[in-house]
Amino acid sequence: MRAAYLLRRLALALLVLVSVSAVTFLVARVVPSDPAALYAGQRPTAEQIAAARERLGLDQPLYIQYARFITDLLRGDLGTSYKTKHAIASDIRAFLPATLELVVVSTLLALVVGVPAGVIAGARRGGWFDHASRLLSIAGVSIPTFWLALILQLVFFGRLGLLPLSSRLSNDIALFSPIETITGFYLVDAILTHNWAAWRDAALHIVLPSFTLATYPIGLTLRMTRAAMIEVLSEKYIVAARAQGLPERTILFQYALKNAIVPTLTVLGLSFVYSLTGAFLVEVIFSWPGLGKYVTDSILNVDFPVIVSTTFVVTVFYVFINLGVDLLQAALDPRVVLK
């Protein structure tokens, strides 16, 4: 059953990837601009634009351009940026680790903060902690990201001077104790190379942007966990466990949470993928050199290959993380049937 489910999901994933690539490719071509003029550089002549259009294959019919794009994609070639003339795959490899590190930290914050708070709020329904957590969760999903980022910068950098304003590393650390790139995750690479001064600096730099990005998933995770806990705590096996005198902590975090965590995992998985491109405001405000800023610049420059390729890469993340979450749900809850 599980093998058949995997085959169906992989076939569906392939269909989704092809559909997304086709729609994105067509939409990018509909935008009223001339990519050949962008590729030809500043103040190009008509001859230079015509030569660029022929070189890029833009003089061919759309179906031929799309077939060429798919053929390159199957070879692992994401194309070349019209603006920077760099290979898009190289640019994504350069920018993606910064965004992934930011998103992973923010997702861990949502997991560490949102789940325990949701468990306690559900167990103490109607109490002061429940009311306070619901207020905080509503605030977390409602506060504009850019406003929260600016307030945090004003307080923790401008007023208190406790945390850095922007970027991934201080100039002094980048100059005198640079991090040797291994995974692209500064926190991980600094540990692997025993560069503790750089690790501390990178940890301080990631606090504000990761907390800003985590506020929405924290609020969503808290509310989802609370609702699931309220439902699970009314089950007969929980009543029986309490009648046997088991410690409340054991009941909540070993018995009830195992079933209540299933819908929360779906929310966390979707939030993770959404943050890959939804972090662009955070990256711009904190000067974080990630994928969101790269995509934003490509949209402003109408850089078609970058738009299509990054959309495809994010779709790949979405499809396979969603599949992984489904499999994890089935592993945690035997009531979930893969079909």
Residue pair 264/228 in contact by the 8 Å Cβ criterion:
yes
Give yes or no: residues 7 and 133 share one domain. no
Cα–Cα distance between 331 and 69 in angstroms, integer? 38
Residue 85 forms part of a structural domain? no
Residue 204 forms part of a structural domain? yes
Give yes or no: residues 151 and 30 share one domain. no
Cα–Cα distance between 5 and 337 in angstroms, integer? 10
Give yes or no: residues 137 and 278 share one domain. yes
pLDDT at 92 (0 to 100): 87
Tens of each residue's pLDDT in the chain, 339 residues: 567 777 887 788 788 888 887 887 777 666 666 666 666 666 777 777 777 777 767 777 777 878 887 887 778 778 778 777 788 888 888 888 999 999 999 999 988 998 888 888 888 888 888 888 888 888 888 888 888 999 999 999 989 988 998 889 998 888 888 888 888 899 999 999 999 999 999 999 999 999 999 998 898 889 888 888 888 888 788 878 778 877 878 888 777 887 778 778 888 888 887 777 677 888 888 988 888 778 887 877 777 778 888 888 888 888 888 777 777 776 766 555 555
Residue 339 forms part of a structural domain? no
pLDDT at 125 (0 to 100): 85
Give yes or no: residues 13 and 100 share one domain. no
Give yes or no: residues 283 and 254 share one domain. yes
pLDDT at 137 (0 to 100): 87
Give yes or no: residues 127 and 210 share one domain. yes
- Neighbour count for residue 186 (Cβ, 10 Å): 24
Residue 303 forms part of a structural domain? yes
Domain of 57 in residue numbering reads as 2-74
Give yes or no: residues 33 and 104 share one domain. no
> Structural domain tally of the chain?
2
How far CA 151 is from CA of 131, 146, 147, 155, 171, in Å, comes to: 25, 9, 6, 6, 24
Give yes or no: residues 157 and 15 share one domain. no
Residue 97 forms part of a structural domain? yes
Residue 79 forms part of a structural domain? no
Residue 314 forms part of a structural domain? yes
pLDDT at 188 (0 to 100): 93
Give yes or no: residues 105 and 65 share one domain. no
Residue pair 262/329 in contact by the 8 Å Cβ criterion:
yes
Residue 83 forms part of a structural domain? no
Cross-strand partners of 87: 80
Its pTM stands at 0.81
Give yes or no: residues 114 and 31 share one domain. no
pLDDT at 86 (0 to 100): 82
Cross-strand partners of 80: 87
Name the H helices within 233-289.
236-243, 248-250, 257-278, 280-285
Give yes or no: residues 162 and 261 share one domain. yes
Domain CATH for 157: 1.10.3720.10
pLDDT at 37 (0 to 100): 67
pLDDT at 9 (0 to 100): 76
pLDDT at 133 (0 to 100): 87
- Beta-carbon contacts of 180 under 8 Å, excluding residues fewer than 6 positions away, are 189, 193, 195
